[in-house]
Chains A and B, each alone.
Chain A
Amino acid sequence: MALGLTIGIIAAVVVVLLIYLYNSLIKLRMRVNNAWAQIDVQLKRRYDLIPNLVSSVKGYMKHEKSVLENVTKARASLVSGTMEEKAKASNQITQALKSIFAVAENYPQLKANENFMQLQEELSGTESKIAYSRQFYNDSVMGYNEAIQVFPKNLFAKLFNFQQKEFFEAKGKEKENVQVEF
């Protein structure tokens, strides 16, 4: 009887522990997914802002068609693809925007345009939000990936098919110049 009780208690403790471990993994995974949603929101926001920028700039920058085409092209490439491709496209947009704003320096009338100034502020805000959401996402991924590789959680991770998550980063050359200042 006493033996049965002991075994029962131990079993109960183990079950509670397992539930706790499982839930902690679920929570970490949810955080990664939420963090990804944040990046998506910001990428979408920038995606929506770019046409406004192009149309407000077009009239002024008659001689710099290629700069505008670059940003439009980069914008189009963002729509689909793997995470790495998205990260790459995102960095390209950042670069293209940067050159637009650099060129804009030569057009005092444009720079004084109220609408343009607001767009610039919005875009630079979105740009830093993308950087921050990426930072939070990558931190969350790191925490999650670490958790599913450490004993005893790794056993669970295998059992319930918790898979490693990908970092949001462009490998190779595109990786530089993440910090932007317009």
Chain B
Amino acid sequence: MSLLEFFLRHQREILQATVEHIWLVGVTMVLSVAIGVPLGVLVTRRPWLSKPILGGANIAETIPSLALFGFLLPVPWLGGRADRLAIAALTLYALLPIIRNTSAGISGVDAAVREAARGMGMTEEQILFQVELPLSLSTVLAGVRVATVLTIGIATIAAAVGAGGLGEFIFRGLAMVNNQLILAGAIPAALLALGADFLLSVLERRLRPAR
């Protein structure tokens, strides 16, 4: 049976696993942006928090992903359901690039622009939302792009704790020493990563401020 035949025969399962995968990644990205961008802003406002926050995110990044799923298993609410567990672990991974790029983007805003904004009587909040965030949007988005591609890859491991997604095929294929099964997970995951990378980089270019 050729690979193509295999894909066609199992297209429903593959499609379903792809949708699960996208859902895992999508929820993870929403959560990690919602947490990571405010943390990135906080780091620029309270420099002494930069070490603990970036350090913490850095440590999360270094834990092998399979082990991280294991560590989170005994956590009360999270360990109860596989998808919650997976999303929590993936969010921890996705945070670092988002926090780092948010703080880098904001620190990169021209000091003269910030001084002019302050001198003209903009409040801290107005400076953040009307000046700093719009000007660092493309940098933040670059972080989101890196995090998304990373998450699409790591999310395949979520199948190890039963969270579904394209990893199901990969793990099953490994167990059965069946290359076609492995590729049924790996090819769609790679395509997802490439597609996300492309779309987000287009958006990023469009939002880049003119110099």
Does chain A bind chain B? no
Residues of B within 8 A of A (CB): none
Residues of A within 8 A of B (CB): none
